[in-house]
Amino acid sequence: MMKKGIWIPIVVLIVLGGGVAMGFALNGSDDIALTDDFTSSFLDPDVETDEGFHYFRSEKNNFSMWFPAGYYIENDPVGYESRDHFEFLNIHEDQSHSNEKEYWGFIQLKYRGNMTEHDAETQLQILLKDFGFNDQYEELQTENAIIYYGSSYYKLEENRGVTYDPATHSANQYFALIQSHDAKEFIVVDYGLYCEEEEPCTINDEQESRFFNTLIQSIRFRK
Tens of pLDDT, residue by residue over 188-203, are: 999 999 988 766 788 9
One-letter amino acid identity for 153? Answer: Y
Tell me the three state secondary structure of residue 34: helix
Whole-angstrom CA distances from 61 to 6, 19, 47, 115, 127 are 37, 23, 15, 17, 25
Query: The pTM is what?
Result: 0.85
Phi, psi of 64 (to 5 degrees): -130, 165
Tell me the three state secondary structure of residue 158: coil
Q: What's the confidence (pLDDT) of residue 128?
A: 96
Q: Name the stretches of the chain with pLDDT < 50.
A: 1-25
Residues 33-53: tens digit of each pLDDT: 999 999 999 999 999 999 999
Q: In whole angstroms, give the CA distance from residue 43 to residue 56.
A: 5
